[in-house]
Structure 1
Amino acid sequence: MTIRIAMVAGEASGDLLASHLIRALRRHLPEAEFFGIGGPKMVAEGFDARWPCERLAVHGYVDALKRYRELSAIRRTLLAQIRAERPAAFIGVDAPDFNLWLEGRTKDAGIPAIHFVSPSIWAWRGGRIKRIARAVSHMLCLFPFEPVLYERAGVAVSYVGHPLADVFPLQPDRAAARAALGVDGAGPVVALLPGSRQSEVSNLADTYIGTARRLLARNPAVRFLVPLATPETRQLFDDAIRRTQAADLPIRILPGQAVEAMTAADVVLVASGTASLEAALLKRPMVITYRIGKWQYRLMKRLAYLPWVGLPNILCNEGIVPELLQDEAEPEKLAAALEAWLADDRRRAALEARFAELHLSLRQDTAAKAAAAILPYLKGAGA
């Protein structure tokens, strides 16, 4: 009997996660068929993408409102297909705003609903856990502190580790990264990561350039690598360089290559987000920063449950790297925090050891563990 599994993945990160999961499930179920919404990596694994995952991408609340009817129509059409075709399970990969609605209705239809990647209920919007408990049959968590939150709410849950920890080497090769990027010389290298979204780069570009200017004044041998994800974000940073008359700074802009830039760097200035976790897995000292609208920041701060925003601090349950946010995110303070890392060999070594422990705790062979948690739900379908 052929087992069919419905899946929805949003954005490139979900496509990658889901493709690894499909491959892991096929080791146990070689004839399994997968359909739903996905990207090119899932398609390469034999996934039947009835809509491409790019259709789910929205950029902020305004874009989400504009596209509500389109996304709602896609979701309802897929739900009708799931109800008609009766797959053995539904797996929603990230994209909680889209997937939780689907998961609740497939669960109500008697189809197990698994959600892969917990929403950040531990950071804010914790009230969503009641909705999640109603919607999902099983939650797959990337971080070790998350399962207890679901257990308290009566949700079946498994910790599966973080896929980046499986991919990143335990000992990153700085020399090889510098050779690949053509970085030479003896001076310190600073990676500047102002974010992947246009709004993030707009908010932080001038600040990052001002920080670089101050670091260069203190150490004329310093060099800067700025990986930018898209042509649009590169244009925004180029505009900031012209606006601030900073063409003389030793800044090299890279097309993407964030991991390579951080590997090559001695220290990283990073906008809060997944990139801060990548920096930790690369064992790099960092300063985390962020700036958003004044009223949005006040709301987020009021709703936040934790004293930190950066994943390295949250995962270590300690403020092990500086966080300079909002009004604190100004060039003089950021430069001083980065310089403090460069000046203290013992502090850097202690941080690297702590990040090595974190890396090992997150390295769980995520796809295999996720597949093992899902397989029991497929037994009744002939697995």
Structure 2
Amino acid sequence: MAGAGRRRVMVVAGEASGDRIAAGLIREVRGREPEVHFEGVAGPAMEAAGCRALFPSDQLAVVGMTEVLRHFGDIRRVFKGLKARLKEAPPDLLVCVDAPDFNLRLAKVAHKLGIPVVYYVSPQVWAWRRGRVHKIGRIVDHMMVIFPFETEVYEQAGVPVTYVGNPLIERIPAVPEQAQARAALEVPGEAPVVALLPGSRRSEVLRMGPVLLRAAELLGERFPDAHFVLPVAGPAVGEVLDELLTEYQPPNFHRVTDSLSAAAAADCAAVTSGTATLETAVVGTPLVVLYKLSPVTFWLAQRLIKVPHIGMVNLVAGREVAPELIQDDAEPGRVSEELGRYLADPAARERARRDLAGVRATLGENPSARAAEVVLGHIRREG
């Protein structure tokens, strides 16, 4: 290990989300024990928090088989470099943040070298290939999970686990009041407002954009004074939306840039399944969850993924607090129907807001601080 004196921790994070999560952890640890040295695979946020970048995190930020193959040389170079570093200058602790395809392999190397491993953000063993938890338990000394229902999976397998809370809570700033959000987006204060969140990726907008825009057209026929806000994540998504708007013309349509402001301004929202469902829940806006894949992918998913709900908001709640429209049900008529139910019934909106407040409370407080205590506990144990 690093030996007496200054404690050293290697942290490995991929993608922007992992960079943010790891940065929060690093700040909290150094706020308690400033002498702890961090190094590893780091992005801008981690570097700003005081982590020395052995490699930039964007070299691990690849999605999909073709992209992995295209960047295989870079990924292999990073892995060999970290493996050599673990052997030549063993840290007191390895902290792996998400990126399971890469990090579980690195954790195995560290374990063989006798270096303790803490893993932050569990692979989704609760959704598919649950048997992986036993393999993880053999190479990981402590798992820090970000959803409350994940603890049971590891406890049953005898793997030390701590629910630290969800880092999303720290990332979302103070949510503006509805009136403030509407004023910022130049949406009328008294009109019914619906947020349309097709996703942040071009492929998601290509698939879900037509469904949401047609649903808005149908809803506009029933509620002529309704306004519709759709956040656009970058120029690639904007180009797709431009093309779609040549075919669909929802009334009172507003293209915006910030999904949180869009959700805060809305009376209800239609949201493609993913992190955005949790973001909308934290904002407190009643929502409908949409999930639609290609027929072949959906057929495979049905056989591999074993969860009671599709929407993360419902998984966290442990019950359906937001209606789910899956595959063939994720069509304009059904979407319009569910959103119309919220617009027509203030009591339904209020019930949904109470349920979402419960979800928000479940996500915890100060996850970075709780994660820091776990990490410091292992560092002190090794000291």
Give the TM-score of the pair, scaled to structure 2: 0.94
Does residue 312 (structure 1) correspond to residue 313 (structure 2)? The answer is: yes
Q: State whether residues 197 and 270 of structure 2, in contact with CA within 8 Å, keep that contact through their aligned partners in structure 1.
A: yes
2:304 corresponds to 1:300: no
CA contact (8 A) 1:101 1:135 kept: no
Hey, what's the Cα distance between the residues in 2 that align with 1:63 and 1:300? 21
Question: Does 2:147 match 1:143?
Answer: yes
Matched with 2:256 is 254
**Secondary structure of the structure 2 residue equivalent to 1:187:** coil
Separation in 1 of the partners of 2:133 and 2:365? Answer: 25
Q: In the alignment, which residue of structure 2 is the partner of 1:105?
A: 109
1:90-239 aligned at under 5 Å gives the runs 90-166=94-170, 168=172, 173-239=177-243
Which stretch of structure 1 is more off in the superposition, 74-83 or 258-267?
Answer: 74-83
Give CA deviations for 1:87-116 in whole Å, capped at 9, x if unaligned: 111111111111111112112211111110
Checking the alignment, whether the CA contact within 8 Å between 2:185 and 2:256 is kept in structure 1 is no
The equivalent of 1:34 in structure 2 is 38
Shift of 1:250: 2.5
Stretches of structure 2 that go unaligned for 5 or more consecutive residues are none
Q: Deviations over 1:243-297 (max 9, x none)?
A: x153x63322223x11111111111111100000111111111011122111111
Secondary structure in structure 2 of the residue aligned to 1:269? strand
Match of 1:4 in 2: 8
Pick aligned residue for 2:23 from 19, 25, 37: 19
- What CA distance in whole angstroms lies between the structure 2 residues aligned with 1:291 and 1:62? 22
**What is the alpha-carbon distance in structure 2 between the residues aligned to residue 180 and residue 102 of structure 1?**
46
Counterpart position of 2:361? 360
Q: Distance in 2 between matches of 1:151 and 1:72?
A: 33
Give me the whole-angstrom Cα distance separating, in 1, the residues matched to 2:175 and 2:50: 34
Shift of 1:167: 5.2
The answer to whether the Cα contact below 8 Å between 1:123 and 1:304 also exists between their aligned partners in 2 is: yes
| Structure 1 residue identity aligned to 2:329 | E
Measure, in 2, the Cα distance between the counterparts of 1:353 and 1:172: 18
Is 1:347 matched with 2:348? yes
- Runs (5+) with no aligned partner, structure 1: none
Kept in 2, the 8 Å contact 1:186–1:221? The answer is no
Q: 2:291, 2:310 within 8 Å by CA — same for their partners in 1?
A: no
- Between 1:5-14 and 1:72-81, the stretch displaced more is 72-81
Residue 256 of structure 2: SS of its match in structure 1? Answer: strand
SS at match of 1:126: coil
Report the identity percentage: 39
**How much has 1:380 moved relative to structure 2?**
4.3
Deviation at 1:169, TM superposition (A): 7.1
Instruction: Please give the alpha-carbon distance, in whole angstroms, between the structure 2 residues aligned to 1:259 and 1:185.
Output: 17
- 1:138 and 1:315 map into 2 onto residues whose CA distance is 22
Q: Is the 8 A contact 1:200 1:291 kept in 2?
A: no
Whole-angstrom distance in 2 between the partners of 1:155 and 1:238: 50
CA contact (8 A) 2:100 2:123 kept: yes
Contact 1:83 1:109 in 2 (8 A): yes
What CA distance in whole angstroms lies between the structure 1 residues aligned with 2:242 and 2:128? 34
TM-aligned CA deviation for residue 70 of structure 1: 2.5
Cα distance change on mapping 1:102 and 1:360 into 2, 3 Å: same
Alpha-carbon RMSD: 1.7
Larger mean Cα displacement after TM superposition, 309-318 or 163-172: 163-172
Check whether the contact 2:41–2:54 (CA below 8 A) recurs between aligned residues: yes
Q: C-alpha distance in 2, partners of 1:174/1:186?
A: 10
Q: How many residues are matched? A: 379
For residues 310 and 318 of structure 1, the distance between their equivalents in structure 2, rounded to whole angstroms, comes to 10
By how many angstroms is 1:182 displaced?
A: 2.3
1:328-349 CA distance string (max 9 Å, x none): 1110110001111111212221
What do residues 299-345 of structure 1 show as CA deviations (whole Å, max 9, x unaligned)? Answer: 11112222311011111121221111211111011000111111121
Shift of 1:170: 8.4
Aligned with 1:62 (options 55, 66, 88): 66
Question: 2:245 aligns to what SS in structure 1?
Answer: helix
Cα distance in structure 1, aligned partners of 2:261 and 2:14: 25
Residues in 1 aligned to 2:308 and 2:382: alpha-carbon distance in whole angstroms: 45
Q: Distance in 2 between matches of 1:252 and 1:78?
A: 47
How far 1:222 moved relative to its partner?
A: 1.1
For residue 76 of structure 2, what is the aligned residue in structure 1? 72
- Check the 8 A contact 1:89/1:112 in 2, yes or no: yes
SS in 2 for 1:288: strand
Q: How far 1:136 sits from its partner (Å)? A: 1.1
In 2: Cα distance, 1:173 partner to 1:241 partner? 30
Report the AA paired with residue 304 of structure 1.
I
Give the distance between the partners of 2:31 and 2:54, measured in 1 at CA. 24
